[in-house]
Amino acid sequence: MALLCAALAQPFSPRAALPVRHPPTSLTGSGLSLDFSLPPHPGLGAPQRAYPRIEATARRGARTENAKVRNRRLQKKFNGTATKPRLSVFCSNRQLYAVLADDHNKKILFYGSTLQKSICGDPPCGTVEAARRVGEELVRVCNELGISEVSYDRNGFARGDKMMAFEVPVSQHGFLPR
């Protein structure tokens, strides 16, 4: 074969007998891009690839938003009124804080945390038990004020042990949609 190519004054290539390649195609749809084109090969063109090149692309602006900016944007949705106040919950690594706020009149209707002596008791209990007691205290105050529904804002915190313990008495009263 090499002697035949030398006689015809053409360079020898074992790939010379490959079929004609079609232009590169690309399949796109919902963030997944399949590219079946082959990278260029020096001298002869691109070699055949045994597998397609897969590129995953995310939506524009996905997960690049700052947590504070996202929280400020969501606070517009959780705007409390006198009849339906905003229940905002902050959960740190050690404690849980809950605030029932009327944003229109700029009043705090209830504040409870796992640090309060009246909630923890004289021999202090664990934070999960204290979070459950904060939820029970919140339900008691809502019954006194005649509040039947709240806008629940957990500020993007995951539902860990303290958050779940807090949500149990609140959801039993019917405040949280389940």
In the predicted model, what is the mean pLDDT of residues 67-96? 81
At residue 10, does pLDDT exceed 60? Answer: no
Q: Which residues contact 110 (CB under 8 A, 6 or more apart)?
A: 98, 99, 100, 137, 138, 141, 142
Contact 53, 37 (CB under 8 A): yes
Q: Which residues contact 170 (CB under 8 A, 6 or more apart)?
A: 87, 135, 138, 139, 176
User: What pLDDT is attached to residue 136?
Assistant: 93
Q: Which of the 8 DSSP states describes residue 10?
A: -
Contact 166, 172 (CB under 8 A): no
- Pairwise pLDDT comparison (138 vs 67), residue with the higher score: 138
Work out whether strand 53-56 and strand 86-91 pair parallel, antiparallel, or are unpaired.
unpaired
User: What pLDDT is attached to residue 79?
Assistant: 77
At residue 3, does pLDDT exceed 60? Answer: no
User: 143 falls in which pLDDT band (50, 70, 90)?
Assistant: very high
pTM for the predicted model, two decimal places: 0.58
At residue 30, does pLDDT exceed 60? Answer: no
Q: Which of the 8 DSSP states describes residue 107?
A: E
User: What pLDDT is attached to residue 18?
Assistant: 52
User: 76 falls in which pLDDT band (50, 70, 90)?
Assistant: confident
- Domains for the chain: give ranges and CATH numbers: 67-173 (3.30.420.100)
- 25-34, 88-97, 165-174: segment of lowest average pLDDT: 25-34
Q: Which residues contact 82 (CB under 8 A, 6 or more apart)?
A: 102, 104, 105
- Pairwise pLDDT comparison (39 vs 98), residue with the higher score: 98
CA–CA gap between residue 87 and residue 100 (Å, rounded): 5
